Structure 1
Amino acid sequence: MQADKTVTYPITVATQEIAGLTEIAEMPRCRYEVIDPETRDTVDVVTVGSKLLHRWTCESSAPDLWCMTVHSCHVEDGSGTTFSILDDKGKRRRRAERGICSIDRYLLDNLEYGPGPLQAQKEAHAFKFADK
């Protein structure tokens, strides 16, 4: 037979002062780049199967005020038809369990956030849709 036992520990939680903002922060300036992961140079012409690094970066004078979620990414097949490759929820940095992100992991898997506070990236291989 097991006995129930209540265990207690005295602890006090101190309150923190709320820090006020004295400046108006500008919105971060964001960019998307496709990079050769070996040379770290941006690329604009690639061959099917080439390894690429997709990188989203935002710059801000106050990076601790902001967080980022990359979402709703699409590719175009060259004839005007678009295909979603990242969903509209995105993969949230601190709550990854809430959003899937990648729609087709063979084209682009879930993004990795970091190393900086306003960065996301993922390696993938270049692909092309079949000609119609």
Structure 2
Amino acid sequence: MTAVGQHWIRPVERWAPPLDGQALTVLLAKVRAWEAFDGEALLGDVAAVLDDVVPAEQQVDELAERLRGHLMRLVTIAVAAEVEQRDDTTARLMSQARTLRIEEAPGDHCRAVGYLRRMGWITNELLERLVATKCLKEAV
């Protein structure tokens, strides 16, 4: 048996993709470059710079780069959650994080370790503040 098909009475708009080819290419590149938040890596790097054992001179640049990435990720999360408008402490930590992130590590090893420890401290404080304001779940 065959049924009689329905005919549309109202005209239906032709579907159009929401983005053109160039915009889709840009979006795909951003998706491929995206890195998930890794709380364990963040805590490991913070522990490495705040530990009693001073990081080796060869590790300073690598640790500084990783901490800059963690700071950038945390600030991005805070901006997306609009927490800086609700919480003055978070806004202050975000400002400090932005300032530290653009600074270069000093050439002197002792000063570079101090710089790493400041970055580690701000990273840890911002992480704890984002957990307290419910922007993030507690990191392991």
What TM-score do the two structures reach when normalised by structure 1?
0.22
Structure number with bigger Rg? 2
Greater helix fraction, Structure 1 or Structure 2: 2
Greater strand fraction, Structure 1 or Structure 2: 1
Give the structure, 1 or 2, with the largest relative contact order (CA under 8 Å, sep 6 or more): 2
What TM-score do the two structures reach when normalised by structure 2?
0.21
